[in-house]
Amino acid sequence: MFLIVAPVSIFCAFVARGLMDDFSYGMGLSVMIAAVLFTAYDLSLLLLTSGRDPGIIPRNAHPPEPEGFDGNAEVGANQTPPLRLPRVKDVVVNGITVKTKYCDTCMLYRPPRCSHCSICNNCVERFDHHCPWVGQCIGLRNYRFFYMFVFSTTLLCLYVFGFCWVYIVKIRNAEQITIWKAMAKTPASIALIIYTFIAVWFVGGLSVFHLYLMSTNQTTYENFRYRYDQRANPYNRGVVENIKEIFFTPIPPSKNNFRGKVPQEHGLRPRATNGFMSPNMGRAVGDIEMGRKPVAWDEPRMAAEIGDLGAGLSNLLEDKDGRFRCASPDLSRDALAVGGGLEEQGSSATNPGRTSWGVEAGR
């Protein structure tokens, strides 16, 4: 926002104000008003791009149910045959087979054109890319606003760039001096010309690139990874239909209720697996796309079991007098506060063997 507001403010203060005296019939004032309105429109598109749900698919609480048996597995007479989720599934799109992958983080099969963002840590529909300039993924629900923002920023750069040159020419004609001397009289115009000239190559090039992607119905992710130019694109329906799909189709509603309350599960217990096997069951699983530290496949369930075990161990920490022993350094303050006081601390000093519950339990 600063990269947009700051140069426009300099333009209005040093260039547009000078043009107000040079243009007749109030034309100079319209230059400033147009710059302000154009900037407000550009910032609104920026907020729409960064503030909307890009198409996040809600995560599943549990893996999907497997569809078939693993015929290669050998099981006993009283055992349930293990079921294994395939890593990929084939989906037919417009007569062309497309592979959909299983996401270990979200525990779902990604729809076609969906990918898991390694920065937002979410599966996003029609994932294009993660834009660090807007701090948001670009996907199904905000792609049109992203392109409109980039294109309007390009036009704003050209607007400022053009009127800075107009102001320099006005100074040259009014004072009958060379163009170089006229440029020296308005350093703000020179700074803005250099700034907008550099910026327009980035936002202008991005506008042209995404115009090509829209005309061929591709995403940035697909263009860099799949290279549809070398094979059939199942989503390409012609230039006109592709453009209509981006700008003239209703945006689907969000699948997330960001204002809703998170449901809290009471009395979480390990549920029966019925012989179910995840694609990564039996080994530590890290998020392949996230590159995070490997964690246990069913960590919430393990946490519940540890919580139940901790509740049982808390009863063992009481001695016959109803006082807590020092089970760990973190519990020492609680042990003193509950009833041990200084007397318990003194007994621990005289009997060091009884200060650690783990040592005594080992006996």
Please give the positions annotated as active site. 131
User: In a 3-state reduction of DSSP, which class is residue 77?
Assistant: coil
Parallel, antiparallel, or unpaired: how do β-strands 88-93 and 96-103 relate?
A: antiparallel
- Check: CB of residue 90 under 8 Å from CB of residue 102: no
Parallel, antiparallel, or unpaired: how do β-strands 108-109 and 129-131 relate?
A: unpaired
The values of phi and psi at residue 60, to 5°, are: -85, 145
Inter-axis angle of helices 2-10 and 27-51, nearest 10? 170
Tokens found for residue 29: 């004032």
Rounded to whole angstroms, how far apart are CA atoms 131 and 232?
Answer: 28
- Check: CB of residue 295 under 8 Å from CB of residue 285: yes
Beta bridge partners of 138: 129
